[in-house]
Each structure stands twice: as structure tokens, then as C-alpha cells.
Amino acid sequence: MPTNDVDIRLHPELTAALTALAEAVEEFADRQCLGDSVPFNLNLVLDELITNSISYGLPGIDAPLLRLRLSRTGDTVEAQVEDNGPAFDPFEEAPKPDTDQALDDRPIGGLGVFLVKQFTDDSFYERDGEINRITMRMKLET
């Protein structure tokens, strides 16, 4: 793996994981000269996915695994989040938010998958053995 890529295990505790995430994205973005919007959007969607893994997927798991990978190929940044929680495809199983409702009338939560789809060019879920893997790709601004 090229030295500019990121491949880290995150501690499955929310504050520690989100702090490590923000640092990893910032360092990766600086090394890759990603500008401002891609790192912001990347951190936003990864924060959402990692929060969901820690809050819903990993409680009760004896040896929780949470992993982040970041890489760049040409004008595309790829991010992967892996956990060993129960199989869950957020793109198929998460409830669809009602984005037509007024902001004050919407229930709290439920926008994570919507945000991922809005801020990425490609995103998908796969189950690899006991591992949930979400892969997202973002094109760099040209």
C-alpha cells in the first residue's frame, strides 16, 4: 500500500474514534492536496457511518473491529469503513428520511444514508465473511 494511504483501526468508543477519524482525514487531505470541500464532505459522511457502527452495530460484540481506509487514485478518493457487527446494508435497510417535511417536524436522525448518497459519487455495501464494508468514492474538483 502506498505510504499516502490510510489504513487504521479505530477504537470503538465514539469520542476516540471521531477524534482519530478527523485527524486521519486532515492528514490524508494535506498529503493529497485535496482542497477544502472534499475533506469536509469526507469527514461528514465518515463521521456519520462510524457513529452508526459504534452506536448500533458494535454494542454487544465481544471483540469489536472498526477500520478506516482512505486512498486516492487519480482524481478519485476512496474511503472504506469496516466493522464486525451484524450484517446490515444501510443503503437497503435504513429507513428512508422524509426530506419533504419541514426541518422542525422531522424526527432526529435518519439522514446518514441520505448524506452519504448526496456527498459521494459512488457508495455501496458488501458483506465479506463477518465484516460489513461500506465503500464510498468522491471525485476531486477539477
Q: What is the Cα–Cα distance from 18 to 126, expressed in whole angstroms?
A: 23
What single-letter amino acid sits at 138? M
For residue 87, pLDDT beyond 80: yes
Q: What is the Cα–Cα distance from 65 to 29, expressed in whole angstroms?
A: 24
For residue 95, pLDDT beyond 90: no
Predicted local distance difference test score (pLDDT) of residue 66: 98
Q: What is the Cα–Cα distance from 100 to 121, expressed in whole angstroms?
A: 23
Q: What is the Cα–Cα distance from 127 to 125, expressed in whole angstroms?
A: 7
Residues 6+ apart with CB under 8 A from 94: 110, 112, 113
Is the pTM of the predicted complex or chain greater than 0.75? yes
The C-alpha cell of 43 is what?
469527514
Predicted local distance difference test score (pLDDT) of residue 118: 85
Q: Which domains does the chain have, with CATH numbers?
A: 6-139 (3.30.565.10)
Exposed, middle or buried by CB within 10 Å (0-12, 13-18, 19+), for 121? exposed
- ∠ CA(30), CA(83), CA(58), 5° rounding? 120
